[in-house]
Amino acid sequence: MLKLPSLKCPQCKNANMFASYFKLKLRDKCPSCGLEIGNFDVADGPAYFGIFIVSFLVPILAIIVEVNFSPALWGHALLWVPAIILFSYIVLIYSKAMFVNIEYRLSNK
């Protein structure tokens, strides 16, 4: 079974690694253990990962909806525009957390 990456500090697992979930900004420093989370540079990795997953998932779901329910075009727009925004946000949060966790583990080997 797949396990979602933790959104907590990779070192102590006590405090959230994000200062702001809305902006997806990492904390500068963990308030619990002092790990400098802001120094992890995940660059564009989460964005590429998010594009890969969402652009793979949404067309498949859109085809399934079209074959089974055949909604009008405005129905597709009404359904998929918010779905793409929501999927992208969720995938970005977890992929950013995953990249920070990977970078933390690789930096301690």
Residue 100 touches Zn ion, criterion: CB under 5 A: no
Q: Which is nearer to Zn ion, 33 or 62 (CB)?
A: 33
Q: At CA 61, angle to CA 75 and CA 56, rounded to 5?
A: 125
In this structure, are residues 17 and 30 in contact, taking their beta carbons and an 8 Å threshold?
A: yes
Report, in Å, the least distance between residue 90 CB and Zn ion. 23
- Binding-residue pattern over the window 4 to 43 for Zn ion, x denoting contact by CB under 5 A: -----x-xx-----------------x-xx-x--------
Task: Report d(CA 42, CA 92) in Å as an integer.
Answer: 12
| Nearer to Zn ion among residue 8 and residue 76 (C-beta) | 8
- Residue ranges in 59-88 that form contacts with Zn ion under rule CB under 5 A: none
41: Cα within 13 Å, side-chain hemisphere:
1
The rounded Cα 80 to chain-centroid distance in angstroms is 18
- Residues in contact with Zn ion by CB under 5 A are 9, 11-12, 30, 32-33, 35
